[in-house]
Amino acid sequence: MKVAAIGVGLTKFGEHWENSFSQLFVDAGAMALKDAGIDGKDIEAIFVGNMSGGRFVDQEHISSLIADNCGLTPIPSTRIEAACASGGLALRQGVMAIESGFHDIVVAGGVEKMTDILTERTTQTLATAANQEWEAFLGMTFPGLYAMIARRHMHEFGTTREQLAMVSVKNHENAMNNPYAQYHVKITAEEVMNSTIVADPLRLLDCSPITDGAACIILASEKKAKEFTDSPIYITGSGQASSSISLHDRERIAVTDATVNASREAYRRADKTPGDIGVAEVHDAFTIGEILAIEGLGFCDIGKGGITTENGETKIGGRIPVNTSGGLKAKGHPVGATGVAQAAEIIFQLRGEAGKRQVDADVGLTHNIGGSGGTAVVHILEK
């Protein structure tokens, strides 16, 4: 059974002092319902991606909270957690619910409110997605983990500090034309390389920000979708894979095996190859992350992500435009919502609704990572 995305809604990403955690989801959900041309009575289930409401806003039982505040009780609501891949996995669960024939119309969404606590506690909360016994307990943070990955990639493949900076420069330029993005500021490679050191070789402008935001997508079976739209966007491939949560237990540090394996499954299910993808949203929580992603997804050979970026192949107008939204780096990274927001951008692109950042594509891909690579979720979307 084919699964279609018929409605999209998301909040602007950034610091939302005026909105509560649940209000963010309500706002995104209302936009998605309006976009789909349906109302709440048509929804049969909710899947909510959320990494850590308990630590960020002292709120657990997220599933009930969302259904209640959206006025969608008594329909079933399920919270999905996979660290920063929570949103992508919520989308996958929604797809599977429809493919199985269990439901015809569902909401797949994600939400996180990260700015209500001090940065130190946010960093500690994000570190819960790493191995507590062997990484976090010893003082390791995610910038530190990705810094080690970056250093290893530089050592093995000759990736340069300048190439890392080019990822950030490109994504900030793309975000200038995304009204939902947290940052609308162009930066230069020199500014990236001269920004404050966070964990060598990563600088402040190599790292995604702390962000509030929500995103929702209305999914429907093919039959139901045709009742509401003449131009649905189909999710034809979905893949998920796991890897060791700890860097020290992985066979390869400079390759994200979960990405490789999840993308293979998604390509197989969609009957597509990397060469068929016309636009991609990938997980660039740190600049090295985008380089790892384009390699693991097969857009270039392993070890060639840096030079591929340097050659402009991932820019809008390049061979494979990546992170036209601005990516996690400039659009923002409300961790539970990120994977759903990635799919929203691809839907905008395939509908031809991306404005000045529009590319010519019939097939798009999303790539969402949990932790430093312990989980990967990949989706392929088509007109």
Residue 84 lies in a domain: yes
Q: Are residues 216 and 172 part of one domain? A: no
CB atoms within 10 A of CB 44: 18
102 in the same domain as 144? no
Same domain, 140 and 204: yes
Task: Examine the domain organization and report whether 142 and 112 are in the same domain.
Answer: no
Structural domain that includes position 33 = 3-118+210-233
Residue 340 included in any domain: yes
Phi, psi (5° rounding) for residue 279? -160, 145
**Share of residues in the chain with pLDDT > 90 (%):** 95
123 within some domain: no
> Exposure of 76 by Cβ count < 10 A (0-12 exposed, 13-18 middle, 19+ buried)?
middle
Is 172 domain-assigned?
Answer: yes
When divided into structural domains, the chain yields a total of 2
First-residue to last-residue Cα distance in the chain = 16
pTM: 0.97
Give residue-wise pLDDT tens across range 271-327. Answer: 999 999 999 999 999 999 999 999 999 999 999 999 999 999 999 999 999 999 999
Where residue 363 sits, what CATH number does that domain have? 3.40.47.10
Q: What is the pLDDT of residues 12-71, one digit of tens each?
A: 999 999 999 999 999 999 999 999 999 889 999 999 999 999 999 999 999 999 999 999
Same domain, 228 and 266: no
Residue 333 annotated among the catalytic residues of the structure: yes
Q: Which of 16, 103, 153, 333 is catalytic?
A: 333
H-type alpha helices, 14-111: 21-36, 53-56, 62-69, 86-99
Catalytic residue among 70, 84, 216, 300: 84
State whether 10 and 138 are in the same domain: no
Q: Is residue 377 part of a domain?
A: yes
pLDDT tens-digit series, residues 124-176:
999 999 999 999 888 889 999 999 999 999 999 999 999 999 999 999 999 99
Of 233, 266, 291, which residue constitutes the final position of a domain?
233
Q: Are residues 296 and 366 in the same domain?
A: yes
Instruction: Give residue 312's pLDDT.
Output: 98
Residues 194 and 225 reside in one and the same domain: no
- 193 and 226 together in one domain: no
Residue 164 lies in a domain: yes
Tell me what pLDDT residue 315 has: 98
Residue where a domain stops, chosen among 200, 233, 266: 233
CA–CA separation, 238 and 220 (whole Å) = 15
The pLDDT assigned to 231 comes to 87
> Quick one: 268 and 153 in the same domain?
yes
Is the domain of 135 the same as that of 112? no
**Could you tell me if residue 183 is inside a domain?**
yes
84, β-bridge pairs = 82
Same domain as 350, residue 229: no
Within-domain flag for 219:
yes
